[in-house]
A and B are shown apart, each in its own frame.
With several copies, the nearest count.
Chain A
């Protein structure tokens, strides 16, 4: 068999994730890319449960569970500690959910990126606080229902543009990814490993109970998010140079919306409104990628 992603399994079976959990796949892929010389720190999130109760673990690398708001700062500390003890090789990875990244952890993250500490921050984004039972986060998309944004009053704000915020921090490397595209995700992690300084990767991780979908659709939906341009895959170098990882012909948004209970209440007009938002954003991305072309060419020549 020709494997398209590394064969080695560092994460093991038996973990506590729900059936069809995208967050789990994200970890499986990440560890394949990063290898065993990796240390994780994990704030409160589904993964705090998925990894398993004391005295067990599923990840197969050292893992420091930490307080919800602290992932990035702990990673900075681990990095400094390792460096001082002479280990500059081991990958130090903060692994956090969207809540722990977009909301309560954004300050520590902003600090780590500003100092340009040599760590990889990976946000697996299931678009709500899942571990506590599906409450709104600032990563929850416009229109979605959660337990704190009931159908009558669905989420009114757009998803926070975390990659844009990271880019505004002039982070050396940031990228989006999706569990439906493991090869792409792994390629990006390899770039992150090679790039000195702070790196931020934002991976969409479908969540059947949170999105109110059938578990078997988890990958399909993560793929549709990309195909409908809802969640474009792209990279930004030095906070300025944009590159689309793929530019699929757009599928109808409704293909993505319909299978998801969290969007069930949306009217046709509301979906159309959402579609407009999606296109606007995608167009802007393409524009930015266009403008960055010369830089990538210059880089290639070097």
Chain B
């Protein structure tokens, strides 16, 4: 079973990102479970979501305390909270950032990749410039970098889950997929 944790802020599409993964994985015929850490937070506050992926029916229904991998939709969270809490050694940390992975030395022991999802989102006019919605882009990059899910399934999931600007979202995912660099340390 794969367990993945998503970090973002209210309004960025964190929960939708986790759903994109779930929908994509399900399209590939696997089992999936995704859920937010539900608070009553208003816009701007930190948000967490979780996804489990398996080849068989998933019964465990508690939170994920020791995720295999992380997605960080908002780099300002790094430092503000301990994003790596519980993360299994060697897990992926995929960060939305315009900086290269090596600018995150604090994550030694994990596999770090970055993607400038914000720029891609802005380019495709997803959300506003002040508050871009980055979920589609980051999930495209996730597909490329981890290989846990195919880009075709991600595109379909993005299409299904985007309430508006479906095509732009799909393109953002594709662009992120196309441009994301798979860091060398990936075995």
Q: Which residues of A contact B (CB under 8 A)?
A: 16-19, 49, 209
Asked whether B40 lies within 8 Å of A49 as measured between CB atoms, the reply is: yes
B27 to chain A, nearest CB (A): 27
Interface string of B33-70 (1 = CB under 8 A from A): 00000001111100000000000000000000000000
Output the least CB separation between A255 and chain B (Å): 22
B41 engages A19 (CB within 8 Å): no
Q: Give 12 A-B contacts (CB < 8 Å), ordered by A residue.
A: A16-B40, A16-B41, A16-B42, A17-B42, A18-B42, A18-B43, A18-B44, A19-B43, A19-B44, A49-B40, A49-B42, A209-B43
Bound-state Cα–Cα, A18 to B131, Å: 14
The answer for the CA separation of A217 and B128 in the assembled complex, in Å, is: 16
* Residue ID in chain B nearest A50 by CB atoms: B42
User: Nearest Cβ distance between residue A14 and chain B, in whole angstroms?
Assistant: 12
| Chain B residues within an 8 Å CB radius of A18 | 42-44
Give chain A nearest CB distance to B169 CB in angstroms.
19
- Closest B residue to A16 by CB, please name it: B42
Dominant secondary structure at the B interface:
loop
Of all A-B residue pairs in the complex, the 8 with the closest CB atoms, nearest first, are A18-B42, A49-B40, A18-B43, A16-B42, A19-B43, A17-B42, A209-B43, A19-B44
Given contacts A16-B40, A16-B41, A209-B43, 9 further A-B contacts (CB under 8 A): A16-B42, A17-B42, A18-B42, A18-B43, A18-B44, A19-B43, A19-B44, A49-B40, A49-B42
User: How close is A201's CB to chain B, nearest CB, in angstroms?
Assistant: 25
Q: B40, B41, B42, B44: which has the most chain A beta carbons within 10 Å?
A: B42
Expressed in whole angstroms, the Cα–Cα distance for A17 and B40 within the complex equals 11
Cβ-closest chain A residue relative to B42: A18
- CA of A19 to CA of B43, assembled, Å: 8
Shortest distance between the CB of B36 and any CB in chain A (Å):
13
**Least CB distance, B51 to chain A, in whole angstroms:** 23
Cβ–Cβ < 8 Å partners of A19 in chain B: 43-44
Question: Complex Cα distance A19/B41, Å?
Answer: 12
Contacts of A16 in B (CB 8 A): 40-42
Report chain A residues within 8 Å CB of B40. 16, 49
A176 to chain B, nearest CB (A): 27
Residue of A nearest to B45 (CB): A16
For B41, list chain A residues within 8 Å (CB): 16
Q: Which residues of B contact A49 (CB under 8 A)?
A: 40, 42
Give A209 to B34 CA distance when docked, in angstroms. Answer: 25
Question: Hey, which chain A residues are within 8 Å of B44, CB to CB?
Answer: 18-19
- A25 to B32 Cα, complex, angstroms: 44
In chain B, what residue has the closest Cβ to A214? B128
Shortest distance between the CB of B33 and any CB in chain A (Å)? 23
CA distance in complex: A17, B41 (Å): 9
A131, closest chain B residue (CB): B40
Q: Which residues of A contact B43 (CB under 8 A)?
A: 18-19, 209
Q: How far is the CB of A199 from chain B (nearest CB, A)?
A: 30
Q: Nearest Cβ in chain A — how far from B158, in angstroms?
A: 22
A139 to B64, CA, bound (A): 41
- A150 to chain B minimum Cβ distance, whole angstroms, is 12
Q: A18 to B42, alpha carbons, bound, how many Å?
A: 6
